[in-house]
Structure formats: structure tokens, C-alpha cells
Amino acid sequence: MKNRFLSNILLTFIWVALTGDFTLSNFFFGFLLSFFVLKMVISGESRAKYFRIAPKVVAFIFYFFKELVKANLQVAFEVMTPRFQMTPGIVGFPLEASSDIEISILANLISLTPGTLSLDVSDDRKVLYVHSMYIKDRESFIAGLKNGFEKRLLEILR
């Protein structure tokens, strides 16, 4: 996977140098172009891990930024309005993530989102305790985390 990523980066830099346009948008275009060129050239290995994971990583980044903006707007609205809309609470979130890196990344992603904070992991590493400013329904909150951050993260890491 590392060799394909490095090849992708090298082809991207070649694209940027040949076009003479050293902008971020041209870099991203060159990266996408070289990704598809590599996928076509490496025909027998089109099911290689790099070609499956790279689109998921990009989709995950967009999903995280969408959730980040949504949470920021929700917290900003709470701060600027006089009415108290919060329903804070602590939830025990059952984990499918099992390794230290999976749990660490998931806990950090949750903590990076405004209005939520990862507090602790149980001793058996099966439950992550999360504090949130907005818990109207515990089951839907857990389902949102499970089908959002955890599911997408595990698709990339496993």
C-alpha cells in the first residue's frame, strides 16, 4: 500500500510540475488523476487495499468535517440564545473497536467534536464513556456514534 501511495504522490508532483500551476486545487486534481491512472495501469490488482481504502479515507474526512461544522453551529447557537436547550449526560458507548489504536482514534474524534467529550474506557475495553451536551435519546445517540464515526473508522482500519 505504501508503494502505491508514494507512486500516487510522485505522479501528482509530476502533474503539478508539468502544468506549472502550483495551487492546492491543481494538486488535488493531480492526485485524483494519478489515482485513477494507477488504478487503470495496475489492472490485475484493482482490488488492492490502497484502491479500496483511499476513497473511504477521503469520505471519512468529509464526514468528519460535516459533523464538526454541525456540532460547532449547534454549540454556537446554544451560547448565543437565552433559552437553555441542552440535555447533558454521560453515556456508556459499547465498543466494536478492540485495538488500542482503534479506541484511541475513536475517542479523540469524539472529543474533537464540540459538545462531546470522551471520558474513560472500561477496564475490559468494551465500553467508552462519553459526555455530551445533547442527549435527548440515549439509544439514538449511541446509534449515531456507532453508525457514524465508529463504523467509518473501522472500515478504514480493518
9-25 residue pLDDT tens: 899 999 999 999 999 99
DSSP 121: E
Q: What is the predicted pLDDT for the residue at 41?
A: 82
Phi, psi of 21, rounded to the nearest 5 degrees: -110, 100
Average pLDDT over residues 28-34: 92
Question: Same structural domain for residues 139 and 102?
Answer: yes
Question: Same structural domain for residues 32 and 92?
Answer: no
Question: Same structural domain for residues 40 and 71?
Answer: no
pLDDT over threshold 70, residue 58:
yes
Across the chain, what does the average pLDDT equal? 90
Angle at 56 (CA atoms; ends 27, 26), nearest 5 degrees = 10
Mapped onto helix, strand or coil, the DSSP state of residue 134 is: strand
Mapped onto helix, strand or coil, the DSSP state of residue 58 is: helix
Question: Same structural domain for residues 74 and 93?
Answer: yes
Higher pLDDT, 42 or 44: 42
Domain coverage including residue 16: 2-46
Higher pLDDT, 71 or 52: 71
Mapped onto helix, strand or coil, the DSSP state of residue 137 is: coil
Question: Same structural domain for residues 40 and 81?
Answer: no
Average pLDDT over residues 119-139: 94
